[in-house]
Amino acid sequence: MNLFQLGSWLSLGSPVVAEVAAESGFDWLLFDLEHGCATDAALPDQLRSVKGTKARPIVRVGAPHIDLIGRVLDWGAHGIMVPRVCTAADAERVVQAAHYAPRGRRGVARTVRAVGYGRRLPDPQQMPRPLILAQIETVEAVENAPAIAAVDGIDVLFIGPADLGYDLLAQKAACTYTDCVQRVAKAALAAGRQCGILLRRAEDIASMRELGMTWVALDSDIGILRETYTRIIASVPRDAGA
């Protein structure tokens, strides 16, 4: 049985925020290089900040480029999330980028953080298998969800609500957002994979768990700051003439 994994989104690029989130008890944290505020050069310090906690660092790369995927794994990410995985061929390319030969094409480096900068030199085949979360964000991806889930090496089908909702409108799709979520969850379970989603409200978690989702990210650092600041301002009385 797959255990429920609660995570959150980190977009600010701050090691301090990452450390606070990790110390708060999340099971995993998503470091966002696709829409986040920092460059990939800021990632190593964020990864260092969660070391020693139970929070597994997952990095969302901006694109499924083999050099970028290998780079974040070399820096010590436990796994990757890849946006807009629309076909089984897309999924296969991601898996190959994240795995060493013979399964994949990831380059071997013996002086990177993932191997203690050269102090731990295991056989690449004995190194921990990276987690791979394929984002389902389009109507095409929903239709291909069974084939994507069937790709060896894909661990989680992770729904991107904003992109999927937009694509449904853009494509004038006949299916609803709810239908798509249910189809993806069903495809993941049928293939023995896990399924996940980003949520903004804790009260929505129960319904997603009923669908069998085990990887849920709740809110983001930017969202939490925005809502908290807004609530603070709204709670303070203002002078009529101010």
Looking at the annotation, which residues are catalytic?
35
Parallel, antiparallel or unpaired: strands 194-199 and 56-60: unpaired
Task: Give 195's strand partners.
Answer: 157
Q: What CA–CA distances, in Å, run from 102 to 22, 106, 131, 134?
A: 34, 10, 18, 21
DSSP 182-202: HHHHHHHHHTT-EEEEEES-G
119: tokens are 């102090």
Query: Distance (Å, rounded) from C-alpha 44 to C-alpha 35?
Result: 17
Query: Distance (Å, rounded) from C-alpha 164 to C-alpha 177?
Result: 8
